[in-house]
Amino acid sequence: MTNSYIARPPLILGQGSGGGWKRQVRRILSSLLRIVWQTFVPFNPQPEPPDPFPTQSGEPDGDQVKRCQWIFDQAEERRNQLEQKAQWTFALILFLTPLVASVLVFMMREDSTSSLSKTIALTFLIISMVLMLMGFVSIMRAVSIQARESLYLGSVADLSGGQILKYDGSFLARGLLYCASVNTAMNDHLAQFVKGAHILTIAAVISLVVATLPASISYLDSTELPAKTKIVGPVTISSAELKALVVSIAKLRNDLAVRDRRSDAADRLRELEARVEKLENEKMDSTLASPKGQTPR
């Protein structure tokens, strides 16, 4: 048997005490609009002060004062938790912003032709960048909230005369409750900015993840192998520099041909000189070998 005094976890949207799904969707849309709206709307630096607590006729006991101190401590503990969440969210945004910016710049400077996948990727990247900027503004506003009420010298001493006041439990309890009320209001204000930064950061990450698929397709299309082109027929050179280069190459070819011909003529001349020298040597040998008085024929 289910005990009705034990709370149950939140049910699926549209079930339980939250109302139908249409009402919940309207609530979610209203919350999103408020998150976007409150990011740029200026607020007062201090919350609206509460009405003063009525003065008691009797002195509160120690347990009541301790209870008031516990309420004050709970507000302080919640403030510390919210500030820690704000710092973590701020660090996450600082990590994601250069990543989104670098991918956006890479896609915009890509040399591939404009295609549907590239257009979709750029659209989601720009949306992610805008959401990241809004989350950054929201979390910076949360971090900049420093207003906090606490009991100080005026709770124990008369600042005009410098005399220590007599202990008054009622005065101390009312002071603690007043500070807890003001700090709780500031905590609610800070929590709105932290929640807005969380939701905007999540939406920016989702938009970035969605942009990765068309960005990958666009990158793969831009890295395809170039098509081979075959030139059929004569090529007409229209550049003056290329024409001068062709003329220089033709002239160099002619000079090499002339040099080769001169080299062949010099080799033939040396061959003829060698043959003539050989004939003269044979004639001299035959003259020396013939008998005296006989002339070789």
- Specify if 230 maps to a domain: no
pLDDT digits (tens, 9 = 90+) for 81-129: 999 999 999 999 989 888 888 888 887 776 555 678 888 888 898 999 9
Do residues 54 and 180 both lie within one domain?
A: yes
Do residues 150 and 268 both lie within one domain?
A: no
CA–CA separation, 119 and 107 (whole Å)? 10
Q: How many CA atoms lie within 13 A of 10 on its CB side?
A: 6
Q: Among 222, 254, 271, where does a domain finish?
A: 222
pLDDT at 274 over 60: yes
Overall domain count for the chain: 2
Q: How confident is the model at residue 187 (pLDDT cuts 50, 70, 90)?
A: very high
> Which range marks the domain in which residue 49 is found?
16-222
User: Is the Cβ–Cβ distance between 117 and 214 less than 8 Å?
Assistant: yes
Do residues 41 and 108 both lie within one domain?
A: yes
pLDDT at 288 over 70: no
CA 125 to centroid of chain Cα atoms: 10
pLDDT at 291 over 70: no
Do residues 51 and 188 both lie within one domain?
A: yes
- Specify if 234 maps to a domain: no
- Specify if 137 maps to a domain: yes
**How high is the pLDDT of residue 63?**
86
Do residues 212 and 245 both lie within one domain?
A: no
Do residues 180 and 130 both lie within one domain?
A: yes
pTM beyond 0.85: the answer is no
pLDDT digits (tens, 9 = 90+) for 202-246: 999 999 899 888 888 777 766 555 566 667 766 665 667 777 777
